[in-house]
Amino acid sequence: MRFDDILVPTDFSESSSRALDYALSMASPEGEIYLLHVIDSDFLEEVSRNEIASVESVQEKLRQRAEETLDQIISKSSCNEPNTAKLNKMVVVGLPFVEILRIAKDLDFSLIVMGIRGKKGSIEKLFFGSTADKVLRATHIPVVCVPL
């Protein structure tokens, strides 16, 4: 089965990289894959609360780093070859699971492909569930979770 539009949330972990590989194998040649990175607004609030730096400067630095990393992923991808899906990027600020759900619905994606092991610690996952768990519970769009 091939899909014309696939959303691949990424936190730049190895699991997210595997999810992209899987999405590439599922995309139709004329399709599009959107890599989505969400800058965590809770992290930005913590920066502000602890007066570590200005939220604007941290957000801009994180956005710039995310854009550069996404550009590197795209340039290394096999999507640049003929008869492969086009790879696009998006960087937004918010709660990761909320933004994934919002973008998937607003842009009417056919499929979400995501890794199930990201960068956050296991204590948070134990009490609150992972981002993948939250997306699975809340979406009506098919989701493929790729293990590490």
pLDDT tens digits, one per residue of 62-71 = 999 999 999 9
Q: Which CATH superfamily is domain 3-146 in?
A: HUPs (3.40.50.620)
pTM of the model: 0.88
If pLDDT is split at 50, 70 and 90, which confidence band does 128 have?
very low
Query: pLDDT tens digits, residue range 98-111?
Result: 999 999 999 999 99
User: DSSP code of 143?
Assistant: E
Burial class (CB in 10 A: 0-12, 13-18, 19+), 147: exposed
Summarize the confidence of residues 6-26 as an average pLDDT: 94
Q: At what angle do helices 55-76 and 41-49 cross, to 10 degrees?
A: 150
Least confident range of 2-11, 38-47, 119-128: 119-128
User: DSSP code of 79?
Assistant: G
Burial class (CB in 10 A: 0-12, 13-18, 19+), 124: exposed
If pLDDT is split at 50, 70 and 90, which confidence band does 77 have?
confident
